[in-house]
Amino acid sequence: MIVAMIAPDVASELDHVLESSSKRLLAISDESAGRHPAPESWSKKEIIGHLIDSAANNHQRFVRLQLEESLVLPSYEQNGWVRSQNYAGRPWRDLVELWLAYNRHLIHIIRHADAGAAKHIWKAPAGDTELQFLIEDYLRHLRHHLAQILEG
């Protein structure tokens, strides 16, 4: 049985982003990745940690919304998540490899997501959001933060 995909273009583009950025990310030194560009800003380690958190939170949304038409999950307090997981204390290479592996799994999920679930709703604290939008927004959010790391 062939199932129409929700966002095949997002899966392909996410795959391309991983392939084009992985070597550049791994070339960043641990010291450089741990530096804060400004007193109240995240280091590259903390930004990639935030992207790992984004993958983890969206993993739940992408899977659960294929199983339920409506879903209530909490949002997440990003600064608290980054702080409580002490991404600053982890080796850069470990963080990048975890981020890459998690995103490869999300690509697989997106490629196999049932288009019939595209309009399923996450009842988020900030307002209702469809699965289709969540998947598309995930890529936008990832690109934004990846640019901070690679251009910063």
Rounded to whole angstroms, the Cα distance separating 46 from 142 reads 14
What per-residue confidence (pLDDT) applies to 43?
98
- Give the helix/strand (H/E) hosting 139: helix 131-151
Per-10-residue mean pLDDT of the chain, 152 residues long, equals 66 96 98 94 98 97 97 89 97 98 97 93 92 96 97 80
Neighbours of 1 (CB within 10 A): 2
CA atoms within 13 A on the CB side of 30: 9
Q: In terms of residues, how long is the chain?
A: 152
CA atoms within 13 A on the CB side of 96: 21
Residues pairing with 128 in the sheet: 123
CATH class of 8-28+43-151: mainly alpha
What per-residue confidence (pLDDT) applies to 35?
96
Assessment of whether the complete model's pTM goes beyond 0.85: yes
3-state secondary structure of 152: coil
Give the pair of three-digit tokens for residue 68: 């339920």
What per-residue confidence (pLDDT) applies to 24?
98
What per-residue confidence (pLDDT) applies to 1?
37
Rounded to whole angstroms, the Cα distance separating 11 from 61 reads 16
